[in-house]
C-alpha cells in the first residue's frame, strides 16, 4: 500500500445540513480519458446517503460540476451506505477531485494522456520474470534445465530448455501460462502496434535494437516454447514442480532440490494423469497444451512473415503440426504436482483449438482453418466461469476466449454475429451479478481474481469495438477502474501504476523481501472471498493492515508480503493486460496534441518531432540578472517564449515590472514550484523527497503568487519542475492538478549555463552554443519540437552569461527554418 494512501474514514460529511457521516470516495487513480464513462464510488459505514456531489478543480478549488449520487447497496462490502457518482458528461481536460461535504477523493486527471506509457510499463515485470539471463539481476539462472521426466523411453535424459519466464514468485515454468502470455502480447501488438516503444535490447537490458520491446518480450517466450516442443509429437509442459515451494530466495540462487543435481525436471506431456509423487493431476488429453503451442506459433508467424520470413515458415509448420496433434489427442493437460495436491486444474480445451485454428487462418489464409475454428468454438459458446460464477484454480483457462473474438471480427456475416452473441452472453452473465454491486463487479473472487477482471474488461472492450453495442460500456469502465483504485480498498492492483498513487508496495516477492525492490508493472492476484482466505494455510501478515476497515465484505485484499493469495504478481496475468492498456493508450493518441511527443518519466522533453517549432524556455528562482536582456532580445526578434518562475520570484516586488512586460508581449508564464524544492533524490530518482500533500501545497502556493502578480490561474497549463529534476510520481501529480510537466530536451546542454568555472562540468557559452549546433546537425529530426532551456540568471561567479547569446541562438534557429515559440 502506497504511503500516500488517503484513508478518509474520519472526515465529516454534511447531509441535509445536519446529519454527519464518515466515508471514502474511490476513483480510477490513473484518471479518465475525456470521453470515458467516469463513475466514482462512495462507501460509508453510516446509514444515510449524500444528496449531491461536486467535481472540483484541483488547482483553483472551484466547483466545475455537481451531480446526484446513484444509490447502491454497500452491504456486500461491509458498508451500510454506498453510491455511484457519475460525472461522465464532464469532459474538459484538467486536474480534479470529487467532494461530498468535507469528504474529498484523491486527485485525478481528465486527459488524453492518462494511459501514456502503460502498455510498455508492464513489460518491466515480464523482463524481471525472465529465466536464463535475467536483466533485472544482470545475471543468469537455471542454466542447467533440465532432465526429462515421465517419458516412456527418455526419462533421465538432458534437454536444453533454458529460457522463458518464471510463473510468479515461485520459479516454476508452465507452457500453459507462458503460451497464453505470448498470445496476449502478440494480439495486443497486432491490434495496437503504434503504442509500443523500443527502449530495451533483445536481452532485456536498456538500449534499443530497432524492435518494439513487446516483440522482444514475446520472442523470449516463443524461443522457449520452441525448445519445449522440439518435434511434432514431442511436447513438454513444465519445468520444476511444487518442490520449488521452499521459501523466498533469488532465482540466481535457487536452492530447490529435485534430486537431479543442478538440473530441474522437465515434464513430458503424456496426456494422462501425471505426478511423480503421491499426488497426481487429472489430465485427460493433450489438446489444451497443443492448442496453446499452435496459437502462439501461428500468431507469431503472422507478425514475422514480413520481417523474418524464414522464421515465420518454421513457426507455421510448427503451428500446423501442434494443431493436428491436439486434434488427435483431445482433452485437457493439467500441470503436475509432487508434494501437495496443488496444480492448475484446467478442464477445457476446445477454446485452445479454436484460437489455434483461427490464428492459423490469419497466418495462412486457408478457409479450412476458419471452419475448424468455428467447429471448436461452437462446443463452448461461453467461457464457463462467466456463466457459472465459480471455478477451481485455473479450471477454465485462458480466462477469456480470444478465438471467439477472431471469429466475431473475421468470420462470415452469420458466423460473426453468432460468435459476437456468444461474447455478449458471457458479458450478460457477468452483468447479471454486477448490477447489484456498487462497483459493478460481477466476477467470482477466487484466486487470481484480477485475471478474471482483466479477461472480462478485455472481452467487453473487444465486443464493443466489434459490434458498436454500448450495452456493457459502463460495466467495462467499472472493471477497468477496479484495477486502478475504484475498489473497496482504494488501491491500484498494478505495482507502480500510477507512480504517485496507492499501489502495492509489499508484494509477495523475493525481490521485495530480499532486495527491497518492487515488481514494477506486475498485476497482483487480487482479492479473494473471505471464506477462501480464512481457510488458507501458511499466511502470516508481516505488517499492520491499513485496509482493515474495508475487510468486512465478501472479499479481502492485503498489501502484504505474507499474503500469497491476494498480493502475488503473476506473469500471465500481467501479460494479459497488454491489449487493455495498449488500446486505452491508443484511444488517447487520437488527439493531435499527442503526436510524436517524447517523454521521460512521464514528463514531456520534446514536442512534435515532425514539426519545425522549437520551444525557448527560461526558468528562475532567486536570480534575475538576465531578465531585461532576454526580454529585449525576444522583442527585437519578434519571438515569444515560456518563462517558469517560483512563487518567491513572482512575489518579489523587484520582478513585477519584468513579469508584466513579459506577459504583455504574449509570452507564457508558468509555475516552477513555490520555494524551489527538490522533489526527487538526485542519486535515486524514484525516491521522493516530498509527500503528495507537500507537492500540492507547493504548487498551489506558486499559483497564488502568480495570481497576485496578475496571472489568472486559468491561464496556467504547463509546469517545469524545480532544478529540472522530477520522477514519474511528480509528473502524475502535476497532471492531477491539470498541469502538463515539461523539461528540457536531453543532449542540447544549454541547461548547463548555470555552471561556474570551479565546477568539473563547467561549459563556456561558446561551448554551449556549439553543443546546440552539433545536436541540430547530428540528431534525427534536428531540433524539431525541442525544448531549449536557458536560465534567467546565474551565479555571480559565472561572468560568461549564455543569455547574452540568445540573439545568436535565435538567428541560428531561424536561419535553419525553425520557428521559435512558446507553449
Peptide bond into 398 cis (omega under 30): yes
What b/e string do you get for 540-573 counting C-beta neighbours within 10 Å, with b at 16 or more? eeeeebbbebbbebbbbbbbbbebbbbbbbbbbb
Confidence band of 50 (pLDDT split at 50, 70, 90): confident
Chain segment 310-346, per-residue pLDDT in tens: 999 999 999 999 999 999 999 999 999 999 998 999 9
End-to-end CA distance of the chain: 37
Residue 229 has pLDDT above 90, yes or no: yes
In sequence order, the 6+-apart residues with CB closer than 8 A to the CB of 678 are 689, 722, 723, 725
Residue 422 has pLDDT above 70, yes or no: yes
Residue 17 has pLDDT above 80, yes or no: no
Confidence band of 401 (pLDDT split at 50, 70, 90): very high
C-beta of residue 519 within 8 angstroms of C-beta of residue 495: yes
In sequence order, the 6+-apart residues with CB closer than 8 A to the CB of 351 are 291, 376, 377, 380, 383, 398, 401, 403
**The CATH number of domain 13-110, selected from 2.40.50.140, 3.90.180.10, 1.25.40.20, 2.60.40.10:** 2.60.40.10
Peptide bond into 779 cis (omega under 30): no
Mean pLDDT of 187-195: 97
Per DSSP, what are the bridge partners of residue 738?
none
Neighbours of 389 (CB within 10 A): 15
pLDDT in the model for residue 1: 56
Chain segment 98-127, per-residue pLDDT in tens: 999 999 999 999 999 999 999 999 999 999
Chain segment 460-518, per-residue pLDDT in tens: 999 999 999 999 999 999 999 999 999 999 999 999 999 999 999 999 999 999 999 99
Name the pTM for this structure: 0.93
pLDDT in the model for residue 18: 29
Nearest residue to 594 via CA among 91, 31, 115:
115
In sequence order, the 6+-apart residues with CB closer than 8 A to the CB of 533 are 539, 556, 565, 566
Mean pLDDT of 649-665: 96
- C-alpha 352/C-alpha 178 separation (Å) is 14
pLDDT in the model for residue 48: 78
Confidence band of 255 (pLDDT split at 50, 70, 90): very high
pLDDT in the model for residue 676: 97
Query: Residue 111: CA atoms inside 13 Å, Cβ hemisphere, count?
Result: 24
- C-alpha 591/C-alpha 575 separation (Å) is 27
Residue 10 has pLDDT above 50, yes or no: no
Mean pLDDT of 270-275: 96
Q: What ranges do the domains of the chain cover?
A: 13-110, 118-584, 592-821
In sequence order, the 6+-apart residues with CB closer than 8 A to the CB of 779 are 747
Q: How far is CA 461 from the centre of its chain?
A: 17
Per DSSP, what are the bridge partners of residue 584?
none
Q: Of how many residues is the chain composed?
A: 823
**The CATH number of domain 118-584, selected from 3.40.30.10, 3.20.20.70, 1.50.10.10, 3.40.50.2300:** 1.50.10.10
Mean pLDDT of 196-210: 97
pLDDT in the model for residue 454: 98
- C-alpha 736/C-alpha 335 separation (Å) is 45
| Higher-confidence position of 17 and 160 | 160
Residue 410 has pLDDT above 90, yes or no: no
| Higher-confidence position of 430 and 14 | 430
In sequence order, the 6+-apart residues with CB closer than 8 A to the CB of 437 are 72, 73, 76
Confidence band of 21 (pLDDT split at 50, 70, 90): very low
pLDDT in the model for residue 592: 65
Burial of residue 419 (number of CB atoms within 10 Å: 0-12, 13-18, 19+): buried
Cα dist from 380 to 290, 354, 426, whole Å: 18, 10, 11
DSSP H or E segment with residue 821: strand 819-821
C-beta of residue 823 within 8 angstroms of C-beta of residue 644: no
Residue 774 has pLDDT above 90, yes or no: yes
pLDDT in the model for residue 595: 73
Q: What share of the chain is helix, strand, coil (3-state, %, to 5)?
A: 40, 15, 45
Residue 449 has pLDDT above 80, yes or no: yes
Fold of 592-821: TIM Barrel (3.20.20)
Chain segment 710-759, per-residue pLDDT in tens: 999 999 999 999 999 999 999 999 999 999 999 999 999 999 999 999 99
Amino acid at each position: 500500500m502506497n504511503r500516500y494512501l488517503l484513508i478518509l474514514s474520519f472526515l465529516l460529511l454534511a447531509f441535509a445540513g445536519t446529519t454527519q457521516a464518515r466515508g471514502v470516495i474511490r476513483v480510477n487513480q490513473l484518471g479518465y480519458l475525456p470521453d470515458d464513462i467516469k463513475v466514482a464510488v462512495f462507501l460509508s459505514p453510516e446509514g444515510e446517503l449524500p444528496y449531491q456531489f461536486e467535481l472540483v478543480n484541483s488547482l483553483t478549488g472551484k466547483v466545475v460540476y455537481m451531480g446526484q449520487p446513484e444509490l447502491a447497496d454497500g452491504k456486500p462490502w461491509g458498508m451500510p451506505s454506498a453510491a455511484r457518482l457519475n460525472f461522465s458528461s464532464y469532459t474538459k481536460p484538467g486536474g480534479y477531485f470529487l467532494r461530498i461535504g468535507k469528504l474529498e477523493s484523491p486527485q485525478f486527471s481528465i486527459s488524453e494522456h492518462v494511459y501514456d506509457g502503460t502498455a510498455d510499463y508492464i513489460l518491466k515485470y515480464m523482463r524481471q520474470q525472465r529465466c536464463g539471463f535475467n536483466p533485472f539481476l544482470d545475471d543468469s539462472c537455471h542454466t542447467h534445465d533440465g532432465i526429462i521426466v515421465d517419458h516412456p523411453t527418455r526419462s533421465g535424459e538432458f534437454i536444453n530448455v533454458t529460457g522463458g519466464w518464471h510463473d510468479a514468485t515461485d520459479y516454476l515454468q508452465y507452457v500453459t501460462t507462458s503460451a497464453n502470455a505470448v498470445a496476449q502480447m502478440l494480439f495486443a501488438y497486432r491490434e495496437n502496434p503504434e503504442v509500443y516503444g523500443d527502449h530495451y535490447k533483445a536481452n532485456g537490458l536498456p538500449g534499443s535494437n530497432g524492435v518494439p520491446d513487446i516483440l522482444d518480450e514475446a520472442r523470449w517466450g516463443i524461443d522457449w516454447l520452441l525448445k519445449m516442443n522440439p518435434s511434432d509429437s514431442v511436447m513438454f509442459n513444465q519445468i520444476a514442480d511444487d518442490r520449488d515451494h521452499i521459501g523466498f530466495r533469488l532465482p540466481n540462487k535457487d536452492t530447490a532440490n529435485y534430486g537431479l543435481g543442478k538440473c530441474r525436471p522437465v515434464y513430458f506431456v503424456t496426456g494422462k494423469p501425471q505426478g511423480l509423487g503421491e499426488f497426481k493431476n487429472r489430465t485427460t488429453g493433450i489438446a489444451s497444451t497443443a492448442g496453446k503451442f499452435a496459437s502462439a506459433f501461428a500468431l507469431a508467424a503472422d507478425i514475422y512473415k514480413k520481417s523474418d520470413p524464414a522464421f515465420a515458415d518454421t513457426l507455421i509448420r510448427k503451428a500446423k503440426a501442434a494443431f493436428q496433434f491436439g486434434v488427435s489427442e483431445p482433452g485437457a493437460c493439467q500441470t503436475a504436482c509432487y508434494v501437495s495436491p496443488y496444480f492448475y486444474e484446467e478442464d477445457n480445451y476446445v477454446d485452445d483449438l479454436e484460437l489455434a485454428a483461427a490464428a492459423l487462418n490469419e497466418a495462412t489464409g486457408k478457409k479450412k482453418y476458419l471452419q475448424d475454428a468455428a467447429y471448436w468454438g461452437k462446443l463452448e459458446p461461453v467461457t464457463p466461469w462467466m456463466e457459472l460464477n465459480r471455478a477451481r484454480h485455473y479450471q477454465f483457462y485462458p480466462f477469456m476466449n480470444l478465438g471467439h473474438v477472431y471469429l466475431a471480427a473475421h468470420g462470415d456475416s452469420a458466423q460473426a454475429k453468432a460468435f459476437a452473441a456468444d461474447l455478449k452472453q458471457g458479458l450478460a452473465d457477468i452483468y447479471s451479478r454486477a448490477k447489484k454491486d456498487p462497483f459493478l463487479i460481477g466476477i467470482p473472487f477466487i484466486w487470481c481474481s484480477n485475471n478474471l477482471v482483466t479477461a472480462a474488461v478485455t472481452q467487453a472492450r473487444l465486443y464493443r469495438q466489434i459490434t458498436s453495442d454500448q450495452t456493457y460500456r459502463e460495466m467495462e469502465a467499472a472493471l477497468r477502474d477496479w484495477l486502478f483504485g475504484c475498489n473497496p480498498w482504494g488501491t491500484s492492483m498494478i505495482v507502480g501504476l500510477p507512480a504517485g498513487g496507492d499501489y502495492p508496495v509489499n508484494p509477495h516477492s523475493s525481490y521485495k523481501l530480499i532486495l527491497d525492490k518492487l515488481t514494477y508493472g506486475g498485476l497482483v492476484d487480487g482479492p479473494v472471498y473471505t471464506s477462501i482466505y480464512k481457510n488458507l494455510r501458511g499466511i502470516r501478515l508481516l505488517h499492520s493492515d491499513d485496509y482493515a476497515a474495508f475487510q468486512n465484505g465478501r472479499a479481502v485484499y492485503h498489501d502484504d508480503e505474507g499474503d500469497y493469495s491476494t498480493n502475488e504478481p503473476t506473469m500471465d496475468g500481467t501479460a494479459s493486460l497488454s491489449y487493455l492498456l495498449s488500446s486505452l493508450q491508443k484511444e488517447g493518441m487520437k488527439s493531435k496534441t499527442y503526436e510524436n511527443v517524447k517523454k521521460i518519466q512521464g514528463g514531456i522533453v520534446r514536442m512534435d518531432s515532425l514539426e519545425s517549432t522549437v520551444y525557448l524556455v527560461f526558468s528562475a528562482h532567486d536570480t534575475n540578472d538576465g531578465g531585461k536582456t532576454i526580454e529585449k532580445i525576444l522583442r527585437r526578434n519578434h519571438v515569444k517564449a515560456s518563462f517558469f518562475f517560483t512563487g518567491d520570484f513572482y512575489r518579489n516586488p523587484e520582478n513585477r515590472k519584468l513579469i508584466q512586460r513579459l506577459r504583455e508581449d504574449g509570452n507564457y508564464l508558468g509555475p516552477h514550484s513555490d520555494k524551489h524544492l527538490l522533489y526527487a533524490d538526485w542519486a535515486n530518482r524514484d525516491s521522493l523527497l516530498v509527500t503528495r500533500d507537500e507537492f500540492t501545497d507547493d504548487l498551489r502556493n506558486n499559483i497564488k503568487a502568480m495570481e497576485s502578480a496578475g496571472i489568472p490561474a486559468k491561464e496556467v497549463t504547463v509546469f517545469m519542475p524545480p532544478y529540472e529534476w522530477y520522477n514519474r510520481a511528480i509528473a502524475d501529480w502535476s497532471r492531477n492538478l491539470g498541469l502538463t510537466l515539461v523539461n528540457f530536451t536531453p543532449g542540447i546542454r544549454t541547461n548547463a549555463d548555470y555552471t561556474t568555472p570551479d565546477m568539473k562540468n563547467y561549459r563556456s557559452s561558446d561551448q554551449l552554443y556549439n553543443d546546440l549546433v552539433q545536436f541540430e546537425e547530428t540528431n534525427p529530426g534536428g531540433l524539431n519540437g525541442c525544448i531549449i532551456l536557458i536560465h534567467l540568471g546565474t551565479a555571480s561567479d559565472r561572468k560568461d552569461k549564455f543569455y547574452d547569446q540568445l540573439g545568436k541562438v535565435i538567428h541560428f534557429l531561424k536561419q535553419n527554418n525553425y520557428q521559435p515559440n512558446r507553449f
